[in-house]
Structure 1
Amino acid sequence: PAASLTPDDKLPKPTAAPANSSDVNWITADVYKKFETLDCDHPSQDKQERSDPAKPLVTCEPATATSPAIKYILGPVEVKGSNIKSSSFQLQRGAQGAVTNEWAVNIQFDDAGTAKFKEVTERLYQFYVAGGGQSGSDPKAQFAIVLDDQVISAPRSLAVITDGRPQITGGFTEQSAKALSDQLRFGALPISFDIQSEQQISATLGGEQLRMGLLAGLIGLLLVVVYSLFQYRALGFVTIASLVVAGALTYLAIGILGWTENYRLSLAGVAGIIVAIGQTADSFIVYFERIRDELREGRGLVSAVENGWKRAKRTVLASKAVNLLAALVLYFVAVGNVRGFAFTLGLTAIADLIVVFMFTHPTLQLLARTRFFGEGHKFSGLDPKRLGAVPLYRGAGRLRSPDEKKPVARTKNAGAAAEAERRMTIAERRLAEKQDQLAGSSKSSTKEGK
């Protein structure tokens, strides 16, 4: 309150030029007014404008769980943070050298800091002795450690320190001792910031871009759903369910990162998730096609699922390894928005692997034992007849030869047979042609023998 302020005629007036940083002549009327009006619970210092180290400073030591906030009038800086060579924290040793339960912070100065700190402690120690030693409370016996214009510690000088290795003690916990040690070690480091990218977007434009990004993701998701249902019929619902689980895992991971690491999803990150929709669906398609290939060879559905999984698993792992490698390279090499894209791309690749191995494959194992899928219903997407499969067993003790070509005379199976032939690799096609030639020459030899 204004009524509690010192009247102007009673404000301190310097009588001479200050002799050192401990001289009370630094306290002018303006400095004292700042001291009286400063509220440590709501400090008004501008954190972007630092004080002049050659002038006195009015500041606070923030409150802690065990002590209230304290405000100080500090003299000019005498020992700079750049004079601190190192700092550490450890359990304090007693007079007999035994380790106690009290934590202490150790400081080591360079040569210039050692000489200056010796001069400071010689002066402060005189105030300490004159004030009554341990029972005294003369604030001029204290020196303040200041970071960003705030006092982080203000110990008393109990002795003259000549070796540049002072030790700060008094009520530290392990956490508080470590915090002070880190502030002393890193607080004086010169830090500069290089602008890697700069982009100014209005709130309206940013919201519009976000809406367009989400719309693009929704359109892509709908196209994947339509394709899955058209191509795989009921089996497409497995793709949809797997995409939902993958989306839930990704959302959960982003939510946890936002809560624990303050991660924020950017527009580039949204783009990475959109791209991942197609990559995730691709894993399911690879698996489904391997199952269909096994069905075309005449296997039962349960056997086709297991054998198809063995073949598809390697392809899926190789594909996701490439995605993760690309995401890692982009994240560590690129800057700006590209890193957000790379992060979500890698995150969704991991989620995809988890879903394929722990949801999609187990789901198909269960569905293969159901009547609808196991008997090859025409809407199941795994109908052997529609896929052009020919059973190995033909009845009456007749078996299809592994080298025998499947009949294509029936128009219903012609398209599926052509598709199976089209899916053959170059090596498989050459082997089939060679087997056909050998079969033809064998028949010719048989006729000539007759």
Structure 2
Amino acid sequence: MAAPVRQRPGRYLAFVALVLVGLYLGVFLGPSATPSLGLDLRGGIQVTLKAEPIRGGTITKDDLNQAVNIIRQRVNGLGASGAEVHTQGGSNIVVSIPGATNRREVLDTVGETALLRFRQVLQAANGVPAPVTTPTATTSPSPGKGKGGTATPKATQTSKAGNKKGKQSNGDAVRAALLAKPKKSPSPTPSTVAVTPTPAGSPTPTVSASPPNASDTGASSKPDKGSEAPTLTPALQQSFQKWDCSKDSNPTNGSDLSTDYIIACEPSTGSKYLLGPAALQGTDVSTASANINQTGGWVVDLKFTGHGSSAWLALTRKTYEVTNSGESGFNTGCSPPKGCNAIGIVLDGVVQSAPATQTDGIPGGNTEISGNFTHETASQLANVLKYGSLPLKFSVPTATQVSPTLGSTQLHGGLVAGVIGLALVILFSLLYYRALGLVTVGSLAVSGLILYAVTTLLGHSSVGYTLSLPGIAGFIVAVGITADSFVVFFERIRDEIREGRRLRSAIDRGWPRARRTILSADTVSLLAAFVLYVVSIGDVRGFAFTLGISTLSDLFIVFFFTKPLLMVLAKSKAFDSGKKWTGIGQVRAGVARDASDRDRARRTRTREA
């Protein structure tokens, strides 16, 4: 017969203590030791945007989703934590920004259309600067080893725009140099040649003329006014060398002008670029779509308007001519004034892709961006290009100011409701379970500490969770769920004691049955929270989220704290004495009375016989 497994409840309790220490180290070392509050508890601004189609089109779900992504990135750039952006109905976008007070700034930020621009790449480097001795030297990482020419398609990297609010870690002087307006120069805009810096072994996207159906207009026109740019200054080139994209992925905060030379980052590849003035705008894009080419690979087909076609022809001819040989131009060390054979596609100051030119000028406005695309990455880039072509415009938005006083009043009311509910659960536990009720109190206290820390950490992380009034309601409901788990466990223990077992044996035998019931109940709660979170929007999702993490906390507490704590108490003679104050004394007293009654009945039957 195998020896019984030795239980070590102290280890479980020590693990819980370590978890608490780790969580609160994160809380106190983080940006804030309090949860991030939502609009209804903190006050702020809520904006409703009415989307309208342009060019006689219709409003599609994809257009709205792309607009939501762009607006969310812009709102995050305001530095507001916990902002929410979601669609409402078929044409509205609702933006909630807790803590915001500058109404005009919010309206300007969320109401503007996305700024899509096409700029020549003048220099490329790794986004994290390495020690250099020459300020103008290019620190491009080794390019991927493609086969060259147009025979081998090259991969693209796409990304969503980064935060618009730049951090000051790179220095005010660097940003000042970046945004400075240098004097104009009669010299022409620098040509481009180039390297698109991608990590070693990662191919680079390329652009080429679309297959035969493209009509060659042969037209050539002056680039738009954006190409008549100021002179590139040494200060900006030095800023480019110093800029660290890992600390600030949007140097211009999306506020660059088409005539500016700019520094921009591509978060998906970790690269940074020095870009020339914009040769084309998003308004020059007619259509963009993800398709499969003749070789079975995913590509992005791009078509420009009449003016855009001429400007695109001039830009692609200029970038291609830098190499003079038909090569892709992925040589290291490309730098101004010639630049690189690559074109940066920039949305709100963030590079979405930087393909190289493989054709000596692309006429007709039909272009194919090829590479090792998946359906998802090709669709992402196509959506960016389509949104840059302004598929939607927004009517003058209206904003509602939520008073911080009202928010604090609602927060106070929610906390009072929570305290009352918690107090009633504790009172019931103490009156009914006596000392066992203290285990309930301790378990609820540990659960509360864990939930507070998790809520705080999630609120100040990339998750951006904000605690709202429905979220508080979710926590209050979760108190009942947690208490229910304790009731199930305690009643199973009492059932075993009624059968004449000691406390420790009752815990061992009652736990497996109670565990199955607790897991079943909590699984149902988790499924309900998950479904509610997926199908709902806004504050209802806050309720579902808090219900879900509270249920997970309940499982953790029951397995790693409540059961081990009872095992420790069962070793105590005082607790296992069977006295009334322990909560199991009355059960044993009832068992003794039942046994006495059975003996009395048996003796009576014996005498009668």
The normalised TM-score by structure 2 is 0.47
User: Is the contact made by 1:106 and 1:166 (CA closer than 8 Å) also made in structure 2?
Assistant: no
User: Is the contact made by 1:59 and 1:151 (CA closer than 8 Å) also made in structure 2?
Assistant: no
- Give the equivalent residue in structure 2 for 1:102: none
Report the RMSD for the aligned CA atoms in angstroms.
Answer: 5.2
- Give the equivalent residue in structure 1 for 2:531: 329
SS in structure 2 opposite 1:358?
helix
Per-residue CA shift, 1:255-314, capped at 9, x if unaligned?
443324222222211111112112211221222223223333333222322333344333
- Give the equivalent residue in structure 1 for 2:301: 109
Deviation at 1:141, TM superposition (A): 8.1
Question: Residue 70 of structure 1 is aligned with which of 275, 282, 290?
Answer: 275
Deviation at 1:235, TM superposition (A): 1.6
> Which sections of structure 2, spanning at least 5 residues, go unmatched?
1-176, 189-217, 240-250
- Give the equivalent residue in structure 1 for 2:451: 250
- Give the equivalent residue in structure 1 for 2:90: none
For the pair 1:359 / 2:561, whether they are aligned, the reply is yes
Quickly say closer, same or farther: Cα 1:86–1:254, change in 2 above 3 A: farther
C-alpha separation in 2, matches of 1:153 and 1:385:
72
C-alpha separation in 1, matches of 2:378 and 2:253:
27
SS in structure 2 opposite 1:261?
coil
Residue pairs, 1:35-434, within 5 angstroms: 43=252, 57-64=258-265, 69-75=274-280, 80=285, 82-86=287-291, 107-109=299-301, 123=314, 127=318, 133=324, 145-148=345-348, 157-160=357-360, 164-166=367-369, 184-190=381-387, 201-258=402-459, 259-384=461-586, 387-390=589-592
Amino acid across the alignment from 1:23: K
C-alpha separation in 2, matches of 1:356 and 1:119:
69
Amino acid across the alignment from 2:577: E
Deviation at 1:35, TM superposition (A): 10
User: Is the contact made by 1:376 and 1:382 (CA closer than 8 Å) also made in structure 2?
Assistant: yes
User: Is the contact made by 1:22 and 1:140 (CA closer than 8 Å) also made in structure 2?
Assistant: no
C-alpha separation in 2, matches of 1:391 and 1:310:
28
Quickly say closer, same or farther: Cα 1:209–1:60, change in 2 above 3 A: farther
* 60-69 vs 135-144, greater mean Cα deviation: 135-144
C-alpha separation in 1, matches of 2:182 and 2:304:
41
C-alpha separation in 1, matches of 2:467 and 2:577:
46
User: Is the contact made by 1:298 and 1:392 (CA closer than 8 Å) also made in structure 2?
Assistant: no
- Give the equivalent residue in structure 2 for 1:101: none
* 182-191 vs 301-310, greater mean Cα deviation: 182-191
C-alpha separation in 1, matches of 2:181 and 2:536:
60
User: Is the contact made by 2:320 and 2:359 (CA closer than 8 Å) also made in structure 1?
Assistant: no
C-alpha separation in 1, matches of 2:540 and 2:271:
46
Deviation at 1:377, TM superposition (A): 2.4
* 301-310 vs 133-142, greater mean Cα deviation: 133-142
Amino acid across the alignment from 1:72: P
User: Is the contact made by 1:128 and 1:141 (CA closer than 8 Å) also made in structure 2?
Assistant: yes
For the pair 1:23 / 2:225, whether they are aligned, the reply is no
SS in structure 1 opposite 2:592?
coil
Quickly say closer, same or farther: Cα 1:225–1:114, change in 2 above 3 A: same
Deviation at 1:347, TM superposition (A): 1.7
C-alpha separation in 1, matches of 2:308 and 2:458:
45
Amino acid across the alignment from 1:269: G
The normalised TM-score by structure 1 is 0.61
C-alpha separation in 1, matches of 2:527 and 2:321:
69
Amino acid across the alignment from 1:233: R
Per-residue CA shift, 1:335-377, capped at 9, x if unaligned?
3322211221122112112222222122222222210121212
C-alpha separation in 2, matches of 1:313 and 1:193:
56
Deviation at 1:22, TM superposition (A): 4.8
Quickly say closer, same or farther: Cα 1:302–1:150, change in 2 above 3 A: closer
Deviation at 1:240, TM superposition (A): 1.0
C-alpha separation in 1, matches of 2:496 and 2:316:
89
SS in structure 2 opposite 1:187?
helix
C-alpha separation in 2, matches of 1:75 and 1:332:
40
Structure number having the greater helix percentage: 1
C-alpha separation in 2, matches of 1:311 and 1:354:
17
Amino acid across the alignment from 2:454: A
* 128-137 vs 350-359, greater mean Cα deviation: 128-137
- Give the equivalent residue in structure 1 for 2:91: none
Relative contact order higher in (CA < 8 Å, ≥ 6 apart): 2
Amino acid across the alignment from 1:223: L
C-alpha separation in 1, matches of 2:601 and 2:517:
27
User: Is the contact made by 1:81 and 1:188 (CA closer than 8 Å) also made in structure 2?
Assistant: no
Amino acid across the alignment from 1:186: N
Aligned residues: 359
Deviation at 1:167, TM superposition (A): 5.3
Amino acid across the alignment from 1:278: G
Amino acid across the alignment from 1:336: G
C-alpha separation in 2, matches of 1:46 and 1:121:
23
C-alpha separation in 2, matches of 1:326 and 1:293:
31
User: Is the contact made by 2:255 and 2:349 (CA closer than 8 Å) also made in structure 1?
Assistant: no
* 265-274 vs 114-123, greater mean Cα deviation: 114-123
User: Is the contact made by 1:60 and 1:150 (CA closer than 8 Å) also made in structure 2?
Assistant: no
C-alpha separation in 1, matches of 2:184 and 2:420:
71
User: Is the contact made by 2:264 and 2:350 (CA closer than 8 Å) also made in structure 1?
Assistant: no
User: Is the contact made by 1:107 and 1:167 (CA closer than 8 Å) also made in structure 2?
Assistant: yes
Structure number having the greater strand percentage: 2
- Give the equivalent residue in structure 2 for 1:415: none
User: Is the contact made by 1:142 and 1:155 (CA closer than 8 Å) also made in structure 2?
Assistant: yes
SS in structure 2 opposite 1:299?
coil
